[in-house]
Amino acid sequence: MRILFLGDVVGRSGRDAVVEKLPGLRKQLALDLVVVNGENASHGFGLAPDMARAFLAAGADVITLGNHAWDRKEIIPYLEQDHRVIRPLNFPPGTPGRGSTVTVLPDGRKVLVLQVMGRLFMDPLDDPFRAAQAVLATHRMGAGGAVQAIVLDVHAEASSEKMAMGHSFDGDVSLVVGTHTHTPTADHQVLAKGTAYQTDAGMCGDYDSVIGMQKEGASMRFWKKMPGEKLAPAEGEATLCGVFVETDDATGLAKRVAPLRLGGRLSQVMPD
C-alpha cells in the first residue's frame, strides 16, 4: 500500500497548495491513501467544514486535527457527521467526534488512522500511550488482521514523546508520524520491528514565516513578552511537506519511507 501523510496545513497559502497539488500527487505517486493534518487551515487556527470538504474533494481520505480542534466551533457537528475527520483520541470520554477511523479502499483493503495528542508542554489530556494501545488491541494489521495498514499521527510538542511513541508501537503500526511543530525533521526511518517513523512531517504553508505565521508579529511576541495583535498566517508560496510510506499488505509493516517537500522555499524532495 502506498500512503502519503501531509503535515499541518496553515492558512490560505497551505490550503490552496494542498487543493491544487494533491490530485496530481495521487496520480504521480499512485497513492492508495492520503492523510492530511488540517488543524491550522482556517487562518492558522482550526478547521472549517467547507475547508474539510475541499481537502476531501482534492483527494484526502482522512483529516486529522490537534490542539486547535475546537477553534472553529462549526466543526463540532461536522465531526459527528463525517467519520473521515478525527480529533485526538485521548480527549476525555464524551468529547465530540472520534479519535480513530477505518477507511475502506476501493479494492476492499482497510486502513486504521488514529491520532493522539502529547502531554509534554501541551494540555494535560488522558494518557496518549494507553489510549493508542486500547485501539490497537482491537485492530491487528496484515493479511489476516482487521486492517492492512495503520497510521498513527502523534500531535505533540516534544520530540522525545514522539520518539517514545514510535518505539512503543514499533511493529504494531505501519507509520508513526509527528505533527504540531511545523518543521520537517530529517529522521525518517524504518524502525527495528518494521514501523516507518518521522518525528515531524512539517507543515503545508509558507516557510518565510515563524511556523507559518507572519514574521513581524510572531517575532515581536518574543521581544516584548506581551500579547500583541492576533497572529496571521504568512501568505507567500507554500511548501507541501509530508511523509510517504510503502507497506507490505501481508504484514502491514513498512517497506520504505521517504520525505516529500514540494514547492516554496525548502529544498525539493519527491519519493521515487
Cell of 46: 482550526
Going by the DSSP 8-state scheme, the letter that residue 230 receives in this structure is: P
- Residue 24 included in any domain: yes
Burial class (CB in 10 A: 0-12, 13-18, 19+), 28: exposed
Instruction: Report the residue count for the chain.
Output: 272
pLDDT at 226 over 80: no
Kindly report, residue by residue over 41-53, the tens digit of the pLDDT.
999 999 999 999 9
Active site residue 68: yes
114-126 burial code (b ≥16 CB/10 A, e <16): bbbbbbeebeebb
Residue 259: pLDDT above 90? yes
pLDDT at position 103 is: 97
268 within some domain: no
Residue 229 has pLDDT above 80, yes or no: no
Name the residue range of residue 229's domain. 2-262
Question: Structurally, how many domains does the chain consist of?
Answer: 1
Q: Indicate the pTM of the whole model.
A: 0.95
**Is 19 contained in some domain?**
yes
CATH number at residue 75: 3.60.21.10
Q: What is the pLDDT of residue 257?
A: 98
pLDDT at res. 230: 82
Q: How far apart are CA 217 and CA 172, in angstroms?
A: 43
pLDDT above 80 for 27: yes
C-alpha cell of residue 108? 476492499
Q: Is the pLDDT of residue 197 over 80?
A: yes
Cα angle 213, 216, 217 (rounded to 5 degrees) comes to 65
- Domain membership of residue 272 (yes or no) is no
pLDDT band at 155; cut points 50, 70, 90: very high
For residue 270, being part of any structural domain is answered with no
The whole-number pLDDT of residue 145 equals: 87
The pLDDT value given to residue 121: 95
Within a domain: 145 = yes
Of 199 and 224, more confident: 199
pLDDT at residue 228 is higher than 90: no
Marked catalytic residue, from 68, 139, 155, 180: 68
Residue 269, in any domain of the structure? no
Q: How far apart (Å, rounded) are the C-alpha atoms in residues 262 and 20?
A: 12
Q: How far apart are CA 176 and CA 186, in angstroms?
A: 14
C-alpha cell at 152: 498513527
The verdict on residue 166 lying in a domain is yes
Lowest pLDDT segment from 17-21, 136-140, 229-233, 267-271: 229-233
**pLDDT, tens only, 157-175:** 999 999 999 999 999 999 9
The three cell numbers of residue 127 are 494518557
